[in-house]
Amino acid sequence: MQSFDIDKSDLLRIKTALNGSDAELQQVLQQYHTSEIAILFEKLEPDERERIINILPAEEASEVISEMDEEHHPAELLANLTSEKRSEIVEELDYDDATDLLSQMDESDQQDILREIDQEDATNIRALLSYDEDTAGGLMNTDLIKVNGKLNKNEALEEIIKQSEEMEEFYTLYAVDDADVLLGILSIKDIIKARPMVRVEELVKKDYVYVKADLDQEEVAKLISQYNLTSIPVVNDDMRLLGRITVDDIIDVMEEENTEDILKISGVSEDEELSGGWRDAVKSRLPWLIINLATAFLAASVIRSYEDTAAKLPIISAYMIIIAGMGGNAATQALAVTVRRISLSDLTDRQAYMTVLKEALVGMTNGATNGVIVAGVAMWYDANPILGLVMFLAMTGNVIVAGLTGATIPLILKRVGIDPAVASSIIITTFTDCIGFLLPLWLATKLLL
């Protein structure tokens, strides 16, 4: 199959086919990979998605549903199908995907489905449902290939072929003892190359990375990325093998965490759905705006306390909003670099100190440069050299404050255990606004009145 991008013509074909008979629709659908149908689903209406899922064979329907982004509510789509259809689909799903979907349903739909499906599947899914969805346990799949360490080469190969029957890719093989305790990992290459009577336990690689079921998913992603793994085994406290997490699930975690980072740094609640409704968006954003409003009153009180200065020198309003605004921009820059750096690796005390020093230097340089421009405007346009001096000093000062707070605040928040991305931007704009108004007003009062 050719690698291609879904474009408007594909959407048009599907939309046209949706107006035709089932047979026509089926024929069009056959030309798409299930991942592609999942992408096309993003542009379709809920009833159109339901019709397509009903027409597809259960195996393909299950792939489409497991490929759908959580944003587009695959769980809702599944819950709305007839009980026969949804059982068929759930039975085809990998256990981790089925668990994910069921955990998004309400209790009664969840219980209905668990009653309807094959009881061995139900037991496996129930076990996975007991883990928090943001942990290794919630992310792992119980479908994996494990062989007993006592088996010899041919017994092991037979076992691997048997267990891999329903698996697309088997990634790493695991060796366990009679009590399912993990002995190590195995490569298929070493088994193929081994002499006939060698036992699995002699071939095992004992130098491997594993995680406990309660580890946070972000930490799992870091390990997979650091050690360049394609999968990682999940064990309980007694080292019994519970499941494994594969790299494709980690890629989804990374995308999710990145969305959260960008939202948090912009003052949006991390669980706002990108394509959600307006009411949810209000719920997610209004609290931040109200906190911001409170800090804005603080900045406004600075202006109030210099009412006389503003009255005697009305032109200062136009200048001080420039000083405050530029401070906000410079702080956002320093904040973004520092927050991202912290999220990629922890900093030593010395590195933290150097970061703050660097931002002070950057602030001094960028502040003075912009200060010269503003001073130039004050001197030539408003013909007031002292006003120029005031604005040069205020701009330089505020952009230094911006750099210092942009670097220091996230570093402090991180050390006291608060997510720097969430709280930093409100705190630093409060600083740059207050100082951005205070400096020009105070300096003007001293030097110009």
Of residues 13 through 42, those in contact with a second copy by CB under 8 A are 33, 35, 39, 42
272 binds a second copy (CB under 8 A): yes
Identify residues 170-189 at the interface with a second copy (CB under 8 A).
170-171, 187-189
Identify residues 231-250 at the interface with a second copy (CB under 8 A).
247-248, 250
Q: How far is the CB of 7 from a second copy (least distance, A)?
A: 9
User: 243 by DSSP, 3-state: which?
Assistant: strand
Candidates 58, 125, 433, 443: give the one binding a second copy (CB under 8 A): 433
Q: Which residues contact 436 (CB under 8 A, 6 or more apart)?
A: 299, 320, 323, 324, 325, 326, 327, 328, 394, 398
Q: Nearer to a second copy by C-beta: 83 or 230?
A: 230
Contact pattern from residue 298 through residue 317 relative to a second copy, giving x for each residue in contact according to CB under 8 A and a dash for the rest: -xxx-xx--x--xx--xx-x
The identity of residue 209, as a single letter, is V
Stretch touching a second copy by CB under 8 A, among 80-88, 121-129, 359-367, 410-418: 359-367
The identity of residue 128, as a single letter, is L
Stretch touching a second copy by CB under 8 A, among 78-86, 110-118, 226-234, 386-394: 226-234
Residues 210, 232: contact at Cβ < 8 Å? yes
253 binds a second copy (CB under 8 A): no
332 binds a second copy (CB under 8 A): yes
d(CA 433, CA 439): 10
Q: Which residues contact 39 (CB under 8 A, 6 or more apart)?
A: 6
Beta bridge partners of 173: 186
Q: Which residues contact 299 (CB under 8 A, 6 or more apart)?
A: 324, 430, 433, 434, 436, 437
325 binds a second copy (CB under 8 A): yes
10 binds a second copy (CB under 8 A): no
353 binds a second copy (CB under 8 A): no
β-strand pairing of 146-148 with 173-176? parallel
E-assigned strand segments in 223-275: 231-235, 241-246
Identify residues 187-216 at the interface with a second copy (CB under 8 A).
187-189, 192-193, 206-211
Candidates 127, 337, 412, 448: give the one binding a second copy (CB under 8 A): 337
d(CA 338, CA 411): 8
Candidates 57, 216, 225, 446: give the one binding a second copy (CB under 8 A): 225
Identify residues 102-121 at the interface with a second copy (CB under 8 A).
none
281 binds a second copy (CB under 8 A): yes
Q: Nearer to a second copy by C-beta: 129 or 321?
A: 321
Q: How far is the CB of 123 from a second copy (least distance, A)?
A: 26
Number of residues that bind a second copy (CB under 8 A): 117
HSE toward the beta carbon, residue 258, CA cutoff 13 A:
7
The pair of three-digit structure tokens given for residue 188, joined into one six-digit string: 């298929």
